[in-house]
Amino acid sequence: MIKVFRLPDLGEGLTESEIVAWRVSPGDTVELNQLIADVETAKAVVELPSPFAGVVTQLHQQPGTVVHVGEPIVSFEVAGAEVAATAVAGPAVAPAPAEPAEEREAVLVGYGAAPERSGRPHRRARTGAPDAVAPATVAPVVAPATVAPATVAPEAEAEPAASRPRSTPPVRALARVLGVDLSQLTGTGPTGLITREDVRAQLARPAAEELAEPVVDATTLAPGPGRREETRSPIRSVRKHTAAAMVRSAFTAPHVTEFLTIDVTPTMELIESLRTNRAFQGVRIGILAVVAKALCLAVARNPDVNTRWDETAGEIVQFHYVNLGIAAATPRGLLVPNIPDADRLGLAELAAALAGLTEAARAGSTSAASLRGGTISITNVGVFGIDAGTPILNPGEAAILAVGGIRRLPWEHRGEIALRQVMTLSLSFDHRLVDGEQGARFLVDIGAILADPAMVLTMV
């Protein structure tokens, strides 16, 4: 009996994933929950387990292919019982005519093997994602890539030209604030509904369209007289998710950035002395670890920077712990994994956690769990030779600290001019949550520790 495994819903409202690599080939025998593929979501690379035990008969997708949730990716030859409703769905396994909506739910497969169920499948609760399609609106089962053109266009043509574009009141309010004409948009939501993402995406189009030449497939664009070569790459996975998150953050939270330049020579001397300290043998202490520890201490004195604005609940959420996000540049784009309960770690533990977290991010093995739940972040722009910047907040956080490069500069020291190691800190914060004075006190506390590590004794 042939069973088709369709790309599962990996959660978080993600609708597509890219096949990175297959771990099996046609003809291979696999066991239940054996890892069969690596897929990259907008969050991280995920290992995909097999929901069946049997023989691989066909790989429907090649590595590098972006697959939508519900599309077939691999087929198995399985002996025994009937196909579980949660494992197979499609035109070849049609439900009773009276229950077309339930077949759509069957396309969304859970992680790993699921026990077989009898009777009507349990309908999954609708998520808050604006582009989520309710099961009742799609029948029969069709691959997501083919739904939008087929279902939206006829409805759009049937509507009178003077009718108001289909959207919700919050989306119309957002469009008015951003100056976007809804009549110029084509909705990507259920049955053509215009979503927040459609409105925000429109902001970047006018300038690009004015400057752009007619779109030409990169494979057919041959350089000629007066024409320069160009390469076009699809926007996928992590970079696509990061771009959407940064746009959402920039247009949602009112950003303010404050700067502080300090003499960190005492901190650099401390780091040098720790290299010969037995308590820190085998642990590499760098400036980022010391800054991270200073930030955690400063948060305890300035808790307003460790908060979140909950628009839905109409509340300010105060975190009594620090899940410290560390922005990491990776070949797949920017990731911000976090260290849980960083405020409870000593300097050596924090340095070890930073090293492991950064290594995992660059290797592409960051877990999806480590990318969620951050409360405040650090971005180390100094490693790229940058002195300062205005970092954009990680969505859902009130502050982010940019650590600049360390320079040997003439600096006032004990009443004289001397060459000192100087660094600039840049703090961006959400002005809805943090006032200028609160941000300044937080930044000054961090600077005081880095300028004179002994100041910690006055803060704890």
pLDDT digits (tens, 9 = 90+) for 191-248: 788 887 788 777 655 433 433 444 444 444 455 556 667 767 676 666 666 677 777 7
Residue 150 in domain: no
Average pLDDT over every residue of 247-273: 89
Q: How many angstroms separate the CA atoms of 359 and 378, rounded?
A: 16
The answer as to whether 361 is a domain residue is yes
Is position 404 within any domain?
yes
Any domain includes 211: no
Residue 416's pLDDT band (boundaries 50, 70, 90)? Answer: very high
Confidence of residue 290 (pLDDT cuts 50, 70, 90): very high
pLDDT of 151 > 60? The answer is no
| β-sheet with 29-30: strand ranges across | 2-6, 72-77, 54-59, 29-30
Q: Which of 124, 151, 185 is the last residue of a domain?
A: 124
Q: How far apart are the first and last CA of the chain?
A: 67
Contacts of 165 (CB under 8 A, 6+ apart): 182, 183, 185, 187, 194
Burial of 368 (0-12, 13-18, 19+ CB in 10 A): middle
- Long-range residue pairs from 154-163, CB within 8 A, at least 24 positions apart, any chain: 155/191, 155/192, 156/186, 156/192
Residue 97 lies in a domain: yes
- Tens of pLDDT, residues 23-80: 999 999 999 989 999 888 766 778 889 999 999 999 999 988 888 888 999 999 998 6
Q: Residue 94: give its domain's CATH number.
A: 2.40.50.100
Helix, strand, coil percentages (3-state) for the chain, rounded to 5, are 35, 25, 45
- What are 80-139's pLDDT values in tens digits? 644 443 443 344 443 444 444 333 333 333 344 444 444 444 444 444 444 433 333 333
**DSSP secondary structure letter of residue 364:** T
Q: Which of 85, 104, 124 is the last residue of a domain?
A: 124
- Give the model's pLDDT for residue 197: 79
| Higher pLDDT pick, 161 / 371 | 371
Residues 193, 198, 199, 202, CA torsion sign: negative
Q: Is residue 149 part of a domain?
A: no
Picking from 352, 402, 353, 347, the residue whose alpha carbon sits closest to that of residue 380 is 402
Q: What is the pTM of this model?
A: 0.55
CB 143 within 8 A of CB 6: no
User: What pLDDT shows up at residue 83?
Assistant: 44
* CA separation for the pair 43, 240 (Å, rounded): 10
Out of 87-91, 319-323, 397-401, 423-427, pick the least confident.
Answer: 87-91
Whether 120 and 267 share a structural domain: no
Beta bridge partners of residue 256, listed in sequence order: 429
Give pLDDT, residue 344. Answer: 94
Residue 421 lies in a domain: yes
- Mean pLDDT value across residues 369-376: 88
User: d(Cα 17, Cα 39) in Å, to the nearest integer?
Assistant: 6
Distance CA 332, CA 355 (A): 19
Across 11-19, average pLDDT:
73
d(CA 319, CA 325): 14
Between 44 and 277, the more confident residue is 277
H-run or E-run covering 447 = helix 436-451
Examine the fold and report which residue of 95, 124, 153 is the final residue of a domain before the chain moves on. 124
pLDDT (tens digit, 9 = 90+) per residue, 302-328?
A: 999 999 999 888 899 999 999 999 998
Q: Is the pLDDT of residue 460 over 70?
A: yes
Structure tokens at 317: 């959420």
Structure tokens at 293: 């520890």
Domain harbouring 446, CATH code = 3.30.559.10
Please state the rounded mean pLDDT for residues 152-163.
Answer: 40
Cα–Cα dist 154/157, whole Å: 5
**pLDDT(434) > 90:** yes
- DSSP character for 457? G
Residue 77 belongs to some domain of the structure: yes
What is the reported pLDDT for 185? 85
**Residue scoring higher pLDDT (440 or 332):** 440
Number of domains in the chain: 2
Report pLDDT for 187.
85
Q: Which of 73, 66, 97, 101 is nearest to 87 (CA)?
A: 73
CA neighbours within 13 Å on the CB side: how many for 227? 10
DSSP 38: E
The helix-helix angle for 196-203 and 237-252 (nearest 10°) equals: 90
- What is the CB-side half-sphere exposure of residue 280 using CA atoms within 13 A? 18
Structure-token match 């902001």, residue found? 203
119, exposed or middle or buried, with CB in 10 Å at 0-12, 13-18, 19+? exposed
pLDDT (0 to 100) of residue 214: 42
Range of the domain at 65: 2-124
% residues pLDDT > 70 (the chain): 70
**Segment holding 268, helix H or strand E:** helix 265-274
Between 167 and 408, residue with greater pLDDT: 408
* 291, pLDDT greater than 90: yes
Give me the helices (H) in 135-179, please. Answer: 144-158, 169-178
Q: What is the mean pLDDT of residues 423-445?
A: 95
Instruction: Tell me: do 262 and 118 sit in the same domain.
Output: no
Going by pLDDT thresholds of 50, 70 and 90, the confidence category of residue 140 is very low
Decide if pLDDT at 158 tops 50: no
HSE-up of 148 (CA within 13 Å, CB side)?
A: 12
431 annotated active-site: yes
Tell me the pLDDT of the chain averaged across its residues: 76
The pLDDT assigned to 226 comes to 60
Cα-Cα-Cα-Cα torsion 340, 341, 344, 347, nearest 10 degrees, comes to 30
